[in-house]
């Protein structure tokens, strides 16, 4: 199928234009969060010395970006244009995608609720609790990396399904697998700038 952006198609106006833009923005958020995760895994697998501050800062920035993007995708505020809005606006298509891809909606709802706790204390605000005991925020939320990955992949599948059904095109493919991370780190080790 074509990868033309639906929001640029002639005749896509009004509510359909808003839906196209919502899906495109959220798909981009999902893709960037998934890419950040791929890069983090590559950095962790090669295990460069975090004494070289670049890798420590890069890893932390990627982690923070991934969490912020995921909170935007699953934010339950009524004015948010994200997963829950698409579910509200196209319930039959979302339901079909959930069944087709064996996505556990109650698990996504639970994930979003726990992610909100993290958002409220560390992402959107710096709460007193996060200042006094930031680890407790993450412990209470109990979010594991695999669960975050599954939620992002579920959102990606739902957004793709609705987009294809509504507009007859696929999202443009972003195929970055972070294969260049390992050679960059290996070159740094060979040059003696990375332990």
d(CA 61, CA 45): 17
From the number of C-beta atoms within 10 Å of its C-beta (0-12, 13-18, 19+), residue 47 rates as: exposed
Quote the pLDDT of residue 99. 98
Q: Residue 96: which residues within 8 A CB-CB, separation 6 or more?
A: 161, 165
Burial class (CB in 10 A: 0-12, 13-18, 19+), 16: middle
Q: Give the model's pLDDT for residue 1.
A: 36
What is the pLDDT at residue 52? Answer: 65
**C-alpha count within 13 angstroms, C-beta hemisphere, residue 69:** 25
Q: Which residues, 6 or more positions from 21, have their beta carbon under 8 angstroms from its beta carbon?
A: 7, 81
At 74 the pLDDT is 98
> Going residue by residue through the chain (195 aa), what tens digit of pLDDT does each one get?
344 577 777 788 899 999 999 999 999 999 999 999 999 988 887 765 655 677 788 889 999 999 999 999 999 999 999 999 999 999 999 999 999 999 999 999 999 999 999 998 888 878 787 788 888 888 999 999 999 999 999 999 999 999 999 999 998 777 888 888 888 888 877 887 776
Count of CB atoms situated within 10 Å of the CB of 149: 16
| CA torsion through residues 73, 76, 82, 88, sign | positive
Tell me the DSSP string of 141-179. HT--HHHHHHHHHHHHHHHHHHHHHHHS-PPPP-----T
Q: Tell me the Cα Rg of the chain.
A: 19
List the domain boundaries for the chain.
6-190
**At what angle are helices 14-46 and 145-167 packed, to 10 degrees?**
150
Write down the pLDDT at residue 45: 79
Contact 112, 150 (CB under 8 A): no
| Spatial contact of 6 and 159, defined as CB atoms under 8 Å apart | no
* Residue 48 pLDDT: 58
Q: What is the pTM (predicted TM-score) of this model?
A: 0.89
């Amino acid at each position: 199928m074509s990868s033309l952006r639906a929001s640029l198609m002639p005749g896509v106006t009004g509510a359909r234009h808003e839906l196209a833009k919502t899906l495109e923005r959220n798909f981009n958020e999902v893709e960037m969060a998934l890419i950040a995760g791929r890069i983090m895994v590559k950095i962790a697998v090669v295990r460069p010395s975090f004494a070289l501050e670049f890798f420590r800062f890069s890893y932390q920035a990627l982690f923070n970006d991934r969490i912020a993007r995921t909170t935007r995708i699953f934010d339950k505020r009524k004015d948010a244009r994200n997963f829950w809005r698409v579910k509200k606006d196209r319930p039959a298509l979302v339901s079909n995608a959930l069944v087709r891809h064996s996505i556990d909606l109650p698990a996504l709802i639970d994930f979003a609720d726990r992610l909100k706790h993290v958002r409220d204390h560390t992402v959107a605000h710096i709460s007193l609790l996060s200042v006094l005991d930031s680890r407790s925020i993450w412990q209470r939320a109990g979010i594991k990396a695999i669960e975050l990955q599954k939620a992002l992949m579920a959102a990606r599948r739902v957004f793709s399904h609705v987009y294809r059904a509504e507009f007859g095109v696929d999202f443009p493919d972003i195929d970055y697998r972070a294969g260049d991370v390992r050679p960059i780190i290996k070159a740094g080790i060979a040059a003696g700038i990375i332990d």
